[in-house]
Chain A
Amino acid sequence: MDQGADGPLSERPPPHRPQIGGIRDTFAPWEDPGAKPLVRFEGVAKAFGATAAVKGVDLSIYEREFFALLGPSGCGKTTLMRMLAGFETPDAGRILLEGRDIAADPPHRRPVHMMFQAYALFPHLSVAQNIAFGLKRQGLPKAEVSARVEEMLALVKLDGMGRRRPDQLSGGQRQRVALARAIAPRPRILLLDEPMAALDKKLREETQFELMNLQQTLGMTFMIVTHDQDEAMVVADRIAVMREGEIVQVGRPGEVYEAPADRYVAGFIGDVNLFEGRVAVSEGGRVRLISDDGTFEADGAGPVGETAWVAVRPEKVAVHTEPPVAGANVLAGRIHDYGYLGDWTTYLVEVAPGRRVRATRANATRTVERPLGCGDAVWLSFAPSSAVVLTR
């Protein structure tokens, strides 16, 4: 039933590769070799004592981009942002803003404003005074300051709240004051440090879209630091995934999700099933892998004879109640556990003792002819083009 280890690949990828991610977006200044980045990190490194927080980061952020730094806590993303704001000094490397090295500029001279994680609103000042703080430091005339404050209050839908104190506001309102305060002086780039960490789920989702709209309306460059991959996926034009002070991958949300650079990125962004094996065939952008769980075919390339992994997302794994046509990328097993989420159901299928594969199915209909339960025998399959080969 299985093809031999070195037989022909069952399906070849089409010569014209369809675009990854399924979102058509024409904004891509990073693909333009002539474009000048707004912010450029060049070999930036920073250690705290013996701990290296950031290890030689190179990164370019372009005008009007919504850029996300994504990683677990302690990966150095906040340190990287704080170096751009001027609160930390790099041990090595340069940070350029519009082509100029800003190493010598103290925080108060950088046209870079930050929205702090806990908002850091001045508790002794009113909402309007908080928003006016940066404007007054720029020496704007009084009339212009109050006009700009009103404009900002309207922009974040806090009209008429100017005289309140921060402690008289709800969490969501405080977050918007912090946002208004940071964008009022029109920074060249706005830094957002975990801006939605303190909000509940529903409010967070609303805020994500509001933030995107705001960024579009203002035409401002935003850089967000977050550990929440959903948040980064929703808001960002590009995501930089960080691990232990290094940037592992930079790409559009779709690229990072569908073509992860390695197992770390694949596992950090979304759920993934990994099958470890040995590369048998690698040609034309397609690889055949022999593993203990069977034979797999997936997009990518790898050195023949070496260890590699086939990665497939749970939503790309089909669950069958009848055995499908035998071939590559087919697994038989029993349902070990499941989780019903309303819109989705997640199945944990045991394909070998202790080896479980995750598959999700959209609940496209309200009623199901043959409901599945724990212990039921099922077959899993996925298309070779739905999986990728990872060599790291």
Chain B
Amino acid sequence: MKGRGGLAAILPFLWLALFFAFPFLLVAKLSLSDTALAIPPYAPRIDWSRGLAGVRDFLAALDVETYGRLTRDRLYLDAYLSSLRIAATGTGLLLLIGYPIAYGIARCPPAVRQALVMAVVLPFWTSFLIRIYAWIAILKPAGVLNAALGALGLPPVDILNTETAVILGLVYAYLPFMVLPLYAVLEKQDESLIEAAQDLGATPLSAFWRVTFPLSIPGAAAGALLCFIPMAGEFVIPDLLGGSETLMLGRVIWTEFFANRDWPAASAVAVVLLATLVVPILLFERQQAKVLR
């Protein structure tokens, strides 16, 4: 029994070491290399035939020059800031849209709740790419949206290939990740707390703001991080809906890697993005620990 318990404890660490720590170290190593006309296109590489001396030479050749390049070219800073801005805007909108949805579902009778949670998750049954392509069909100048606006006698809008379209796509794609954690905290909230608040003279609105809302903050924080972090590094949605105007780090990484064959730059951008996101993740962890205690 003891051995099994030990294995169960080690497994997550093995998993993390194999699929997170090791790849990350590879990327970090790449970001400290220089570009080279070679296959693969970077240098230095470890010359194993020379044994320990080869490793020593390899380590000596690593430098932070690529990071210096990142600070000198405005493109990277702009992409970085606009990624954070777009992710923050998307997260804000998701909170505003997701909270009422989660709250509404949690207030329904249990049988209806199940069906509604199902409905929230249902879009996952269709390919993500197809759903984003569908947005192109909706948003393109002669698309569904403008046809509907025209039918209502309203002027057409041209929002495909703009930041607006990207934010629309992000909010659409990430809504379940906001709704589900919020629903989880709202659903398990003790109804008698609301009754107690009303019993003590709080109007239904005041009971919501003083009891329901503060108690749902952990769910809102979980949803916000679950959405903000991947949105900041999102590639597919800005690529398909944002056109060439929208600058986001995911696309910068893609361009550096595949178009410019600048693996070190792509890796350095990825490391910076991760480092930025680690801060909110740690904050979230501390908040969760507080809730559990």
Contact = CB atoms under 8 A, between A and B. Distances in A.
B288 interface: no
A122 B199 contact: no
Interface string B201-214: 11110110011001
B196 A137 contact: no
Interface in B205-234: 206-207, 210-211, 214-215
A87 B202 contact: no
A106 B195 contact: no
A106 B198 contact: yes
A185 interface: yes
Interface of A: 85-87, 106-109, 112-114, 116-118, 120-124, 133-134, 137-138, 181-182, 185
A133 B198 contact: no
Contacts of B203: 108
Contacts of A114: 195-196, 199
Contacts of B197: 122, 133
B112 to A, nearest CB: 16
A134 B201 contact: yes
Contacts of B202: 108, 133, 137
Contact of B195 (A107, A121, A123, A134): A107
Contact of B199 (A108, A123, A124): A108
The binding surface of chain B is classed by DSSP as helix
Contacts of A117: 192
Nearest to A107: B198
Contacts of A185: 200-201
A113 B195 CA distance: 11
A87 B204 CA distance: 12
Given A87-B195, A107-B198, 10 more contacts: A107-B199, A108-B204, A113-B199, A114-B199, A120-B193, A122-B193, A122-B211, A137-B202, A138-B201, A181-B196
B190 interface: yes
B81 to A, nearest CB: 35
Nearest to B214: A124
Nearest to B201: A137
Interface in B264-288: none
A72 B232 CA distance: 58
A137 B206 contact: yes
A120 B201 contact: no
28 contacts: A85-B199, A86-B198, A106-B204, A107-B195, A107-B198, A108-B198, A108-B199, A108-B200, A108-B201, A108-B202, A109-B201, A112-B199, A113-B200, A116-B192, A116-B196, A117-B192, A118-B192, A120-B196, A122-B197, A122-B211, A123-B215, A133-B200, A134-B200, A137-B201, A137-B202, A181-B200, A185-B200, A185-B201
Interface string B7-49: 0000000000000000000000000000000000000000000
